[in-house]
Amino acid sequence: MLTSGLRHFLLALQFFTRVPVTGRLAQWVGFSPQMLRSSAAHFPGVGWLVGGVAAAVFVVAQTGLPGVAGAVAAALLSTIATVLLTGAFHEDGLADVADGLGGSADRARALEIMKDSRIGAFGAIALVLALGLKIALLAMLAGQGVEVAACAIVSAHVLSRLAPLFLIRWLPYVGDSGASKAKPLADAIGAGALWVGVSWSIPAAAPVLLAQGGVKTAAMVLACAVAAAFMARLLRRRLQGFTGDGLGATQQVCELSIYLTLAWQA
């Protein structure tokens, strides 16, 4: 069980990031469509690595670049690190969803637009606004302390990667299973796989709990759940199901909702 779990995690790491899993390690991990479906349960586990790297970059940058401008630079460098590490996998999904849903009210046409690799006006605007908001919120969190921002980054990357698993569980797949990057997710994940994802995610509340307390932690979890529910409703209403791009967009929206909640000063 432990060995198969490690293999599934490494496969998830290979699928959702640019981390190389090659050579003898790749041979040991193996590959099959079933394994690739099972690896989705470890999506939040990948968030621990991505969030850890992003938080480390933020702390190092903020240490060497103090002040408000330094906080903005640290947020920018941290975001660049995540984009490089994931290959902008989720940002690409956000842009495609914005292009598709913004470009046409017709379901079939929206799905067709989302398959186009070229970015349109709606996608470009969504990316600029999302990245700008992320950098601004991280800089605001740095004003509460570099440790607060670092904890928020780790928690956000893990919890935001749990949300898409619920969409896979509850919504039908409506993408092109023959060509889409979400092909291995076309079959709904089981309850056991969902619990694996939850197990990865529960400890992610601890950093925020230690840095900002129980109220902020509860608010963070609630905000992520509301954002995920909003995306699920949007995708069901407009597309009658999820696509790979929809999962990436959900991760981005949930991540932003967490930063916004933790930066909010009541």
Token couple for 3: 């060995």
Q: Is pLDDT above 80 for 103?
A: yes
Range in 47-61, 89-103, 168-182 the model is least confident about? 168-182
Residue 160 CB-density burial (10 A; 0-12 exposed, 13-18 middle, 19+ buried): buried
DSSP H or E stretch at residue 61: helix 43-64
Averaged pLDDT of the chain: 91
* Per-residue model confidence (pLDDT) at position 44: 94
Q: Distance between CA 243 and CA 198 in Å, rounded?
A: 21
* Per-residue model confidence (pLDDT) at position 12: 84
Range in 62-76, 81-95, 169-183 the model is least confident about? 169-183
Q: pLDDT grade, residue 189 (50/70/90)?
A: confident
Q: Is pLDDT above 70 for 77?
A: yes
User: What one-character-per-residue DSSP string does 215-247 give?
Assistant: HHHHHHHHHHHHHHHHHHHHHHHHHSSB-HHHH
The predicted-structure confidence for 122-155, as pLDDT tens digits, reads as follows: 999 999 999 999 999 999 999 999 999 999 999 9
* Per-residue model confidence (pLDDT) at position 166: 94
What residues contact 110, with CB distance under 8 A and at least 6 apart? 100, 101, 103, 104, 238, 239
* Per-residue model confidence (pLDDT) at position 190: 80
Q: How far is CA 139 from the centre of its chain?
A: 20
Q: pLDDT grade, residue 25 (50/70/90)?
A: confident
Q: Is pLDDT above 70 for 188?
A: no
Range in 139-148, 187-196, 228-237 the model is least confident about? 187-196
* pTM score above 0.85: yes
Q: What is the mean pLDDT of residues 169-193?
A: 71
